[in-house]
Amino acid sequence: MKHTHSKPGTEPGFVLLVAPAASYRVAAYTRAAHNLGMPIMVVSNSEHSLVPEIARGITVDFDDPEQAIKDIVAALKTIDVACVLATDDSCVEICSHVAEYLNLPQNSARAALLTQRKDLAREALSEAGCNTPKYQVVNIATIDRVSLSVGYPVVIKPLALAASRGVIRANDDSEFRAAVRRIDAILEAAGQQGFARENLLVESYINGPEYAVEGFVIDGKFNLLAIFDKPEPLVGPYFEETYYLTPSRLNDQQEMALIDEVTRCCAAYGLTHGPVHAEARLSGADPVLLELAARTIGGQCGQLVEFSLQQKLEELIIMGMCGIAPRANQAVESAGVLMIPINASGILKRVEGLTQAQQTEYIRDIEIHISPGYELIPLPEGSSYLGFIFAQAPDFEQTYTALKNAHARLRFVTQPRWELENLAV
């Protein structure tokens, strides 16, 4: 069956959205498709969802990708699909195979794999001559006798986990071995298997300010949406992200160097069509890529694009997937988010000071995503945030100050997590 390349607002065609059952982004993409005059079809692993778009969509088993792809393409025989996109990293590779079958533009499955396997990504970047940290792959079982070719300090990373989970800095042999043992337990709890369960990436620690780059690749050309500054120094031992602010304070020369390096890295991965989220540090004058994902910015941080550029991120992504280059408006104000960190473990009892924090000048919104009674797990074992604080102000410093002031007014009251052991019955 031949599928036409529909355009939003001009020709019919479904947005095929591949999303895990727990994805919070389905509603945002549904609204975006509606605003663009396009129907949407959701592919999910949920059999009994209360979300109408998921309930009426295509149900597959993501744990069996080969069968999932067959089920998806079988269900699309009478449906005109305009574009295929994923909400989460775990669905990117399935999207690539489905889009290839439909003859729709999409990154190759090989390119998608590189964005999910840090070791393979480092190999591809090194072969292409990109700026990367020195690195080596080590087997967990041999850490007591391994000889590191990377000098301290180093950063140890799981090969396939995201959101800084399990990422630890080590400054000497003792810290290195302790970090590996800790990551070993994290991988076991996360259910990792195969090569990614048995091996870790060790790379040199890169000193310098860190930035996030949001963009879109169409026909191999990188289109910039925004650059986010991370004003808080991320020196470890764990690397929890907190503040994102835009527009960046980089000068024109630094910004161009960063964009050029991200563009080179996209080409090294083989990314040709789709969203890109990159993270890099400026070490001296040279940007060094830390991570590159074939997806949009994570969490609720996509709201920063709307605040700053006056356009919905999801609408820009759908248009880009249909081959329409994003035309981002020039930001007129600064916008920022604080991903509220979890600093200590425990059971959340209540959040105090929320009203006062919301009344802080230039604060747009505060979202608390963990309810009382739930356990707080900090990095490196944890992978979530308490919530998000959003601000918008005339300039960078006022936005940054607003976020810090609002956070200072919040108090998260917790109690210890009690475990009953050896309970006699």
pLDDT at 161: 87
Segment 116-121 mean pLDDT:
93
Kindly report the CATH class assigned to 14-106: alpha beta
What is the rounded CA–CA span in Å between residue 43 and residue 60?
Answer: 7
Fold of 116-127+207-332: D-amino Acid Aminotransferase; Chain A, domain 1 (3.30.470)
Please tell me the predicted confidence (pLDDT) of residue 22: 73
Whether 14-106 and 116-127+207-332 share one fold: the answer is: no
Rounded average pLDDT over 265-278: 93
190-218 mean pLDDT: 94
Tokens 């009674």 belong to: 373
What is the rounded average pLDDT of the residues 5-21? Answer: 70
Residue 117: φ, ψ to 5°: -125, 105
List the structure tokens of 72: 């998806």
Angle, nearest 10°, between helix axes 65-75 and 92-101?
Answer: 40
Q: What average pLDDT does range 275-300 have in this prediction? A: 86
Question: What is residue 55's predicted lDDT score, i.e. its pLDDT?
Answer: 61
How confident is the model over 408-424, as a mean pLDDT? 75
Token pair 């709890």: residue: 189
> In this predicted structure, which of 51-55, 131-135, 193-197, 408-412 has the lowest mean pLDDT?
51-55
Q: What is the mean pLDDT of the chain?
A: 87
186, two tokens: 């994290």
The residue that leads in pLDDT, 337 or 308, is: 337
Residue type, 317: I
Q: With bands split at pLDDT 50, 70 and 90, how would you rate the model's confidence at 57? A: confident
Q: What one-character DSSP code corresponds to residue 244?
A: E
**pLDDT over 80 (residue 7):** no
The domain defined by 335-417 folds into: D-amino Acid Aminotransferase; Chain A, domain 1 (3.30.470)
pLDDT at 424 over 80: no
Distance, CA of 409 to CA of 402 (rounded, Å):
11
Delimit the domains of the chain by residue range: 14-106, 116-127+207-332, 134-204, 335-417
Q: 384-407: per-residue pLDDT in tens?
A: 889 999 999 999 999 999 999 999
Instruction: Identify the three-state secondary structure at position 384.
Output: coil
Separation between Cα atoms, residue 135 and residue 2, nearest integer Å: 45
What's the pLDDT at 162? 82
Picking from 148, 157, 163, the residue whose alpha carbon sits closest to that of residue 187 is: 157
Is residue 338 scored above 50 in pLDDT?
Answer: yes
pLDDT given at position 115: 85
Q: With bands split at pLDDT 50, 70 and 90, how would you rate the model's confidence at 134?
A: very high
Would you give the end-to-end CA distance of the chain in angstroms?
Answer: 64
pLDDT at 9: 44
* pLDDT per residue as tens digits for the range 62-94: 888 899 999 998 888 888 899 998 887 778 888
Give me 208's structure tokens: 């310098």
Eight-class DSSP state of 302: G
Residues in the chain: 425
Host H or E run for residue 228:
strand 221-230
| pLDDT band with cut points at 50, 70 and 90 for residue 33 | very high
Instruction: Check pLDDT > 50 for residue 422.
Output: no
pLDDT at 6 over 60: no
| Residues 148-163 pLDDT 10s | 999 999 999 999 988 7
Residue 296 is classified by DSSP as -
CATH architecture of 134-204: 2-Layer Sandwich (3.30)
User: Is 10 a residue whose pLDDT tops 50?
Assistant: no
